Amino acid sequence: MTTTTLTARRLVTDIGSVEFPVITVSDDGTITDISSDPRALANEQDTLTSGFFDVHIHGAMGHDVMYSSPSDLSEVQRFLAKRGVAHYLPTTVTAAEDATLRALEALAQAIESAPHDGEAKPVGIHLEGPFLSSAKRGVHPTQELQTPSIELFDRFQAAARGHIVLMTIAPELPGAIGLIAHAHRQGVKLSLGHTNATAAEAIAGIGAGANSATHTFNAMRALDHREPGVLGTVLDPHPDHPEIFAELICDGIHVAPPLVRLWLQAKGLDHAILVTDAMSAAGMPDGDYTLGGLAVRVAHGRAQLVEDMAAGKETLAGSVLTLDRAVANLQRFTNASVGDAVRLASHNPAAMLGRPELTRLAPGSFANLNRFDAKNNLVATYIRGRAI
């Protein structure tokens, strides 16, 4: 058996850090040993961390995951790996039922396929829609939104061959609490989003099994001092629901930096999650693209729904953010360390899904690592021990 050795000044893991790490990786891509030896130091100021895990992404490189061929998905996955992502959840957008069923079948096939060298690995599906509020639909088409239905969800899950692991849902809709409880019993994680829920309705959703919030601040009832709504509920560190995770799109466009700081202070380092909500234009120049079949125009980092632009209204249609930029932005906005920022983009999403092994760095784990230089720039990514 051949081995590879990786060294750095520091290794940051989910449980702590190792100074002067020496990481031995076998030819199957797994870590066989982690030790500490200052004499083996090769990169004086570099920091090694876990690879990123994006649990909310619709596409990249001109490809929408709902309509991508296997070769299209490979291109998306190579792009993600080059931005430090080791695992991801391809995310749907509300569409016609037959289109959603076809997308779920194709994505299930991708998840069940053997991993490709140099590519991020899809490990489940995030179903965003159709059980969303029309009042907070964002780009999700009104005509395709559905009343929460256990029967329809079960058909979606059957098409996905059980690979739906996260679902965004508005808890105030008729039937939502029953569907949340049903999906929760199946092991699916539920995220409150695209919702106009009051605090009481949000708490009911949490009580039924919801454990996260989708792109916090965006597409949810605004905070009011007499009606906290879903936002106030998610940010409130109340002992009855302290374990609620909260996604955030940290591009400086979706959420202003002062509110990024408020979010991080409220959720702490264990329950804040960085996501991209990236659509097909990520990694591409400004121009016209689609999100779930909807026309989107991208200019100066802003992705907007074309239909609403014609009416003089700005509706953000996902983002063109990458997780390496989200991690850099978080450090810039909050003065977080690189290790803490990476936790929000790796260990926390894995913990939210109940899959901590996906980002764990220990003997027996896959060597999915990111290398940051002394200025905290991402300079290398290793997928199963191989440099990208």
d(CA 385, CA 280): 28
**Amino acid symbol at 117:** D
Structure tokens given for 299: 């200019």
CB pairs under 8 A, 24+ apart, for 110-115? 110/70, 110/73, 111/163, 112/161, 112/163, 113/70, 115/384
- Is 139 within any annotated ligand binding site? yes
Structure tokens given for 230: 């879903």
Active-site residue (options: 28, 277, 288, 324):
277
- Is 194 within any annotated ligand binding site? yes
d(CA 5, CA 363): 13
What is the DSSP secondary-structure string of 200-212? HHHHHHHHHTEEE
Give the count of beta carbons closer than 10 Å to the beta carbon of residue 380: 16
d(CA 65, CA 67): 5
- Is 316 within any annotated ligand binding site? yes
The yes-or-no answer on residue 28 being catalytic is no
d(CA 310, CA 314): 9
- Is 318 within any annotated ligand binding site? yes
Q: Which residues fall within 8 angstroms of residue 359, CB to CB, at 6 or more apart?
A: 14, 50, 51, 53, 86, 87, 346, 347, 350, 368
Of 221, 240, 238, 239, the closest CA to residue 230 belongs to: 221
Instruction: Give a three-class secondary structure readout of 363-379.
Output: CCCECCEEEECCCCCEE
Task: Tell how far CA 94 is from the center of its chain.
Answer: 18
Q: What is the DSSP letter of 226?
A: S
Give the count of beta carbons closer than 10 Å to the beta carbon of residue 10: 18
H or E stretch covering 257: helix 257-271
- Is 128 within any annotated ligand binding site? yes
- Is 102 within any annotated ligand binding site? no
- Is 314 within any annotated ligand binding site? no
Q: Which residues are annotated as a binding site for Zn(2+)?
A: 128, 194, 215
Q: Which residues are annotated as a binding site for substrate?
A: 139, 218-219, 226, 254, 316-318
By annotation, the residues acting in catalysis are: 277
